[in-house]
Amino acid sequence: MGGERIRLYVPGSIMGYKRGKSNQTNHTSLISIDGVASKPETNFYLGKRIAYIYKAKTEKKGSKYRVIWGKVTRAHGNIGAVRAKFRKNLPPISLGGRVRVMLYPSNI
């Protein structure tokens, strides 16, 4: 039980909202997961929890850090991106930001 760390999440980034040519749907976000490059690789992440962590100005419950939780719903395209829905819609300042794709709940 030395210095070996247990990996609880995989980093990812927010690419934007799901959108068409002229409309965007803010309740669905597109997430790029690090190390995932094809559509079949996204099957492992379906149903996994996502955490968007940000820092706020005021302290609540002893911390200035807050989190918005979401869930991977399905794949998007052929390059390994996924769609995710969050409990509250992600703010526009989060676009391009980092998220944590948790490795739970397990489906294997």
pLDDT in tens, 77-87: 999 999 999 99
Q: Select the more confidently predicted residue: 6 or 76.
A: 76
pLDDT for 7:
85
Residue whose pair of structure tokens reads 């980034």 in the numeric block: 13
pLDDT for 1:
57
* Angstrom distance (rounded) from CA 98 to CA 49: 14
pLDDT for 2:
66
Tokens in use for 69? Answer: 């939780």
* Angstrom distance (rounded) from CA 92 to CA 24: 12
Predicted TM-score of the model (pTM): 0.91
